[in-house]
Amino acid sequence: MISEAKKALFLDLDGTLLTDDKKIPEGNRRALEQMLAAGHSVIITTGRPLSSALLEAGELGLTGEGCYLIAYNGGLLYDTANRKVIFEKTIPLPLVYDVFDEANARGVHIQTYDDTDVVVEPRCDNDIVRFYCGRIGMTHRVIDDIRHLEKEPVKMLLIDLESRDHTEPLRQWIIEKHGGDLDGFFSSSAYLEIVSKGLDKGSALEQMAGLLHIPMENTISAGDAENDVPMIRAAHLGCAVANAVPECKAVADYITERDNNHDAVAEIIEKFIL
């Protein structure tokens, strides 16, 4: 039976829907199936590139009617049922070159993306990119110089697996020099995301709700990391899972009792949707 009050649940993947070892708890899976059967929509909302997000959506069974994707932290919106991009905003290549040059000068790992691969220069063909690709199920491609990139990317990613001592100063440099065109924020302690100005999970939530003709008062979001803060703020009901960073909990309307390893998303669905 289709609900008269169709709701949209915007879900972060890593640390929210998925466990620490990148699995989906059975309770979460069952609750999502029940939610979709009732006519509601599920929108995976992630910093991952589209190809990785689609792979994950397929494994989760979230590719049918009512299922959508927001990838690259809001840089791309995708209709999984109809297999089509419905919005994309890329970064102009001169800005990509400048950020890569600065990251190279500072010795910070930097990568970007094409339609199928993570893209790095030879300096970053290393254990970091292999670790990253292993975590999200992608392969990487090496090009001699970023100026050989064939098309504008949606996102760049800077990685330091040990601390923010080098990525935080670089974020400040990006904001000071290119703040009119680029935004930079952390999706975890190790990952600094760079996207076009004005893009984040919150703006993407509002845009997707409009495209789906779902009133904002019927939107719910759930996240755990700093890059989830905008969508927790934007949704009518913004939820932080129990394992979320303090920044998420500070802006959340609801904090789950369960964490990502113990069906936190099922708790939200059972309490506010079904």
Residues of the chain with CATH 3.40.50.1000: 8-88+199-272
Query: Beta-strand (E) ranges in 100-208?
Result: 109-113, 118-120, 140-142, 156-159, 182-186, 191-196
pLDDT single digits (tens) 173-220: 999 999 999 999 999 899 999 999 999 999 999 999 999 999 999 999
Q: How confident is the model at residue 4 (pLDDT cuts 50, 70, 90)?
A: low
Coil/strand/helix, residue 267: helix
93-196 classified as CATH 3.30.1240.10: yes
Does the model's pTM come out above 0.75? yes
118 touches 125 (CB < 8 A): no
In the chain, ranges of CATH 3.30.1240.10 domains: 93-196
For domain 8-88+199-272, the CATH superfamily is: HAD superfamily/HAD-like (3.40.50.1000)
- For residue 3, is pLDDT > 60? no
Q: Cα(118)–Cα(124) distance, rounded to whole angstroms?
A: 11
Residue 2's pLDDT band, with cuts at 50, 70 and 90, is very low
For 127-148, what is each residue's pLDDT tens digit? 999 999 999 999 999 999 999 9
Tell me: the pLDDT tens digits for 62-111? 999 999 999 999 999 999 999 999 999 999 999 999 999 999 999 999 99
The secondary element (H helix, E strand) that includes residue 36 is helix 26-37
Average pLDDT, the chain: 95
Torsion angles phi and psi, residue 271, rounded to 5: -80, -35
Share of the chain above pLDDT 70, in %: 99
